[in-house]
Amino acid sequence: MLHIIFYEPRIAGNTGAAIRLSANTGSMLHLVEPLCFEMEDTKLRRAGLDYHDLAHVKVHPNFEDALADIPGKIYAFTGRGQTYHTAVSYQDGDGLLFGPEPTGLPDSAMEHPRIEDLVRIPMRPGNRSLNLANSAAIAIYEAWRQLDFVGGE
């Protein structure tokens, strides 16, 4: 199983979309508190549609707790990374870490000893960032592709 980690997410709709992404890819979604919305938020539920029962979601009180639940390597997605997401050799159990909108990951998270590499998704110069849920989708589908879409059809 692959793992998506949202570090202190702030926008309910993005997390709802990630719940749907988790259900459709068989990945585990880890949410690191504090969350800036309630898990029963209308926007979160609307974005996740009826996938909440099909998704694997865990809410963690802190970053250390989330990392302890992930057996593989952790890749931090950031515009400061030099490695493209397609250059990583993902393995079962790896975690893909994404920071909050609009600030991104704090240095303390990116410098954590569990971080294997700082990874970036290429985009046009001068643009600030992709939407969080879109970034997670791009990354998880590349990782899942490398694992031959195990469990998919």
8 Å CB contact between 47 and 11: no
99 carries a ligand binding annotation: yes
48 carries a ligand binding annotation: no
8 Å CB contact between 120 and 88: no
Instruction: Please provide the size of the chain in residues.
Output: 153
Look at strands 95-98 and 83-84 and give their pairing.
unpaired
Q: Which of 99, 139, 130 is closest to 10 using CA atoms?
A: 99
129 carries a ligand binding annotation: yes
Q: List, as residue ranges, the binding site for S-adenosyl-L-methionine.
A: 99, 121, 129
Q: List, as residue ranges, the binding site.
A: 99, 121, 129
